Amino acid sequence: MKQLHERLRALNSSAQSAPAPYRAEGSGSGSSVGKDRNNLILASASPRRKKILGELGFVFDIVIPECEETRFEDDPHRTVSENATRKNNWCRERHPDAVILSADTIVVFDNLIVEKPKSMDEAVSFLKMFSGNTQSVLTAVAVSSPQLNVIPSAAEGSNISVEVIESIVHFKQLSDSMIEDYFTFVDPMDKAGAYDVDQYGDLVIESYEGPYSNIMGLPSDTAKDMLAKAGLE
């Protein structure tokens, strides 16, 4: 465990010395928000969501929502839907003329919502719990338009549409040494469930069902389809 903490300190030190490109409005595209950028805002600090949306060919600005998230222990779908909507509404109040995409992702194991670990000990316990088992990854995507009744899937009189996508992740049987090896490569502290499918995921994950991009935090086909319905293609 001491070696894991030392490795994490090295990872965090490296991250702190690098530029932080997601901390200011418009920082992902180099222009002012909502002007000549297809009027699209990604309401997220996630580098993985930024990567996925960029790979779809969209030009966008980044705004990081500063709203309080909620949690319904007995309703994971409602939890992600509500949080994605809150993020979207927070940005909508400040950028009324933009098309806004927000998202929220959670891990669900044994009907319980699993958040980011609060310590390395908890991160280790998460992977021990997941070992040989199956979990769900839920991502809610919310897209809103400046005008009402533009998005076909939005409720009547609304300008926002929300969809929830589920992927299933099957974990390998993990020994203590496998978990320790994984955490020498991956800092689990900023990741729901203490793992990242796109970062040495093959060390701990046996297989998955559903969209891979959904496990990363933004189902690409869903995002593309929802933005098309909002007038962006």
CA dist 1 and 69 (Å) reads: 32
CA dist 109 and 104 (Å) reads: 17
DSSP one-letter code for 159:
S
Q: Is residue 173 a contact partner of residue 132, using CB atoms and an 8 Å limit?
A: yes
CA dist 137 and 75 (Å) reads: 13
Q: Is residue 126 a contact partner of residue 112, using CB atoms and an 8 Å limit?
A: no
H or E stretch including 54? helix 47-55
CA dist 36 and 97 (Å) reads: 12
3-state secondary structure of 122: helix
Catalytic residue among 74, 75, 97, 104: 104
Q: Is residue 22 a contact partner of residue 45, using CB atoms and an 8 Å limit?
A: yes
The question of whether 104 is a catalytic residue gets the answer: yes
CA dist 232 and 42 (Å) reads: 13
Q: Which residues are catalytic?
A: 104
